[in-house]
Each structure stands twice: as C-alpha cells, then as structure tokens.
Amino acid sequence: MSEKLQIGISREEGEKAVSIMRLKGSVDANTQGTLEAKAKEAIDAGSQRLILDMSGVDYLGSAGMRAIHAISRMLSPDEQGMRSPYIKVVSPSPAAAKVFKTLGFDSFIDIHDSIDDALAAF
C-alpha cells in the first residue's frame, strides 16, 4: 500500500452511522487499493454512509475515480446510474473537482463545501 495517501477516519453516530474519511495526498493507481480497503473496513464496522473529505487531495487520477465508484457500489450494490444517497464528497481541490465534472461523477455523487453540509444532506 502506498504511503502517498494518508487517510484519517472518524465516525459520527446518529440515526445512521457516518464515517468521515479525510484524505491527504494523491488518489491514483498506487493508492486506489488503500482507499478501497479503508472504506471497506469502515463499512464492515457498520458505517452505512461515507463522507470523503478531499480538501487534502493534491492529485486525483482515473484510478482514484474508479476507487470512489467501487466504494459507492459497496454502499449500494443494487443501485445503478442513480445519485448515491450513501456517499458524499467534501471540498475537492479545483483540479479534483474538474476530474469529477469531466468524468460525470458529479451527476451521481453530491459534492459539498463542508462536512457539516454533507452530514446534513444524508
């Protein structure tokens, strides 16, 4: 697993458990497995919703987007082509936001300006 991506995880308890994953570094082919594994750990521990805080992401590649898609599918394997109610992204850098928009991911994953806004959107 690459050291180019650091992931801090916290959990908000409420009606539905939400894990907040704070990402720092590059999300690419070298770190995609790390991101997916950490998300799976959170889901296996009972989190039904995830927030990806991408304010510390300096690079987002297509493999990183595949990881985010895989995480979305872990949370809602039966939903296809719909906006996911289970995953939110917070504060992607301008470059990462451009990748989301270019690849059309902003059509099925909500992007928020703050963690509080993302939590309120669940």
CATH number of residue 15's parent domain: 3.30.750.24
Q: How confident is the model at residue 116 (pLDDT cuts 50, 70, 90)?
A: very high
pLDDT, tens only, 54-109: 999 999 999 999 999 999 989 987 766 667 889 999 999 998 999 999 998 888 89
3 state SS of 87? strand
Scored b (16 or more CB within 10 A) or e, 27-44 reads bbebbbebbbebbeebbe
Supply the pTM of this predicted model: 0.90
| 118: pLDDT strictly greater than 80 | yes
Look over the chain and give the mean of its residue pLDDT values, rounded to a whole number: 90
| β-pairing verdict for 5-12 and 87-90 | unpaired
What mean pLDDT comes out for the span 4-31? 92
Domain count of the fold of the chain:
1
